[in-house]
Structure 1
């Protein structure tokens, strides 16, 4: 078996490398859009506004933007998610934020739980800025510094225990406030609000979470190796993020922001 070094996964290919099952996502990861509804309030009045939704997933939040009267174009890197969104009547396109070629087209760019999948943050922000009209609004939330630290540590340990899995390389991008604020300003934004928010998040089972969000790390493994990976990570995390009272609670930390194109 190839000893895959995950550092080979570059650019927006990280998003494409992780495969997304829309049914499993809707069943086991419904917390992703549900917990992001407060993010929409940062947009203010959006009736009649042209909005680009970056990483629409299954379209739950996108539909809320449409219900509030916005003209929404949605993009996602997953063909299945795009088809699910289209089936809901959403104008959805198969694109990633690093593929964008819009110029001065949108009043607002909105993004939830996507930008930590993009290890080229400056390129992403430049494309977002180019997509916005002057004075346009950028509102986003994604994983920030410390996000799922316990889960990552467990994953690293399992790869160390099983050298035949290859080298573990964290492909997620979880910046702190100062780092991302500097990038925003460098790419032409005036930051109105940015905050790192610890948000312990209940999930139904860590193995379901691993199946949905970490197959980018296991795509080169055999079925038996993948089963071992998930069961061992679960075993390690049982004493860290699980209690009989609360069940599984992932150690999420979110970076939330609102910025204006200068």
Structure 2
């Protein structure tokens, strides 16, 4: 399966509108518990903010991501980052651990990711991470789809992300060979410093670019979606939240 055509990234927009994503990765790093001298694979490393923190523990880290722009930003931080489709990882059993934060839900070939991660780990190696889970940004999606439909645009119901249930996630990774799988859904209303419009610009521009919607109309769609969400996601102090639900997981490759 090819790289998700809705997953397109602008590093400057990401830094301005989505800095909360790596900032909220601290609990996942604690779950990973990297050790000095370990070899760790960061699957979907993005701009490398969290990768850098893993490296600071003394671990040797390789980051992979399908976005050349994000990989270039990670390399500028001194990270060994490589452009690679994470649905078709090309590593043998070389890593003590694999890590992923806020990336797997963009990878639609879930079996490909799971099998690639399994193959990359040494026997006994662990895979730890967090991704969007069942119900993630459901209200925002309803508003975006309503705004697109009102303007006569195609409304996709599939093919943009994988927000799995615990059962779906567990079945996928068991089929790849992993054991000791632990997964839980965590509702996490998340503050959006640049509001719904900033979030849509960063996380849904790839989808709308693919549909060849002009930048000016994309801005209008974002503003319209934000108006639709006034009573749902705007707080009493005027700030905005996203209705995030995260799936946090850990698992092992058998020895």
TM bucket (normalised to shorter chain) is over 0.9
2:60 equivalent to 1:68: no
2:45 equivalent to 1:56: yes
Q: Is residue 184–residue 191 contact of structure 1 (8 Å, CA) maintained in 2?
A: no
Q: Is residue 190–residue 242 contact of structure 2 (8 Å, CA) maintained in 1?
A: yes
Cα distance between partner residues in 2 of 1:135 and 1:212: 37
- Look up the match of 1:138: 127
The 5-angstrom pairing of residues 1-262 of structure 1 reads 11-14=1-4, 17-163=6-152, 165-170=153-158, 171-204=160-193, 205-219=195-209, 220-245=212-237, 247-262=239-254
For 1:243, what is the secondary structure of its paired residue?
A: coil
For 2:9, what is the secondary structure of its paired residue?
A: coil
Aligned Cα root-mean-square deviation (Å):
1.4
| Structure 1 gaps, min length 5 | 1-10
For 2:179, what is the secondary structure of its paired residue?
A: strand
TM-score of the two chains, using structure 1 as the length reference: 0.91
For residues 194-231 of structure 1, what are the alpha-carbon distances to aligned partners after superposition, in whole Å with 9 as ceiling and x for unaligned?
A: 11100110011111110100012211112332222111
Cα distance between partner residues in 2 of 1:158 and 1:68: 45
Runs of 4+ in 1 over 3 A off after TM superposition: none
Alpha-carbon distance, 1:47 to partner: 1.2
For 2:171, what is the secondary structure of its paired residue?
A: helix
For residues 112-148 of structure 1, what are the alpha-carbon distances to aligned partners after superposition, in whole Å with 9 as ceiling and x for unaligned?
A: 0001001111111011101111111000100000000
Residue-pair matches, total? 250
TM-score of the two chains, using structure 2 as the length reference: 0.94
| Residues 152, 70 of structure 1: alpha-carbon distance in 2 compared, 3 angstrom cutoff | same
Alpha-carbon distance, 1:56 to partner: 1.0
